[in-house]
């Protein structure tokens, strides 16, 4: 068993993505994401922007996989390295609605452990 926590850790101060990308994740809500790439066999969840509208429209119109792959080329780098929040692919899960800060990874882990401990106590009947 395991968990995927990429969205939370992309907002770690140690993560070398563009600050604008991290700030966009923090400002976003759970309903601000869309799944793209389902027709290519490589689905991803990203924050709505000009690029996702263009991409999902092309998918709905039946664009060939090759065209979609070309359309997506370089889009993650545009967002994560260059901070292009309109034309880049801002990959993030629905959990972005629960990410409220950019903080060191150690603090993120401490928060996760504290919350897990509290949940464990509640499940054991300790409120």
Q: What is the pLDDT of residues 66-116, one digit of tens each?
A: 999 999 999 999 999 999 999 999 999 999 999 999 999 999 999 999 999
List the domain range (segments joined by +) for residue 81: 6-102
Whether 16 maps to a domain, the answer reads yes
The answer to whether residue 53 sits within a structural domain is: yes
- Whether 27 is in a domain gets the answer yes
pLDDT of residue 4: 86
Residue 115 lies in a domain: no
Residue 14 lies in a domain: yes
In a domain, 12, yes or no: yes
The rounded percent of the chain whose pLDDT value lies above 70 is 98
Q: How confident is the model at residue 40 (pLDDT cuts 50, 70, 90)?
A: very high
pTM exceeding 0.85 = yes
Q: How confident is the model at residue 49 (pLDDT cuts 50, 70, 90)?
A: very high
**What's the CA gap between 44 and 25, in Å, rounded?**
15
Average pLDDT over all residues of the chain: 95
Which whole number is the average pLDDT over 2-6? 86
Cα distances (Å, whole numbers) of residue 76 to 41, 81, 109, 125:
17, 8, 26, 45
What letters, b where the CB count within 10 A reaches 16 and e where it falls short, cover 51-84? bbeebbebbeeebeeeebeebbeebbebbbeebb
Within a domain: residue 112? no
Number of domains making up the chain = 1
Q: Residue 113 domain-assigned?
A: no
Residues 127, 124: Cα–Cα separation, whole Å: 8
Tell whether the model's pLDDT for residue 125 goes beyond 90: no
């Amino acid at each position: 068993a395991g968990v995927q926590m990429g969205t939370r850790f992309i907002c770690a101060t140690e993560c070398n993505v563009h600050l604008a990308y991290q700030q966009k994740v923090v400002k976003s809500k759970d309903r601000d994401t869309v799944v793209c790439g389902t027709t290519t066999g490589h689905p991803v969840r990203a924050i709505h922007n000009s690029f996702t509208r263009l991409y999902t429209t092309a998918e709905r119109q039946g664009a060939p996989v090759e065209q979609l792959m070309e359309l997506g080329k370089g889009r993650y780098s545009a967002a994560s390295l260059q901070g292009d929040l309109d034309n880049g692919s801002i990959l993030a899960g629905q959990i972005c609605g629960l990410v409220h800060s950019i903080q060191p990874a150690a603090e993120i882990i401490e928060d996760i452990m504290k919350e897990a401990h509290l949940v464990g106590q509640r499940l054991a009947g300790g409120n």
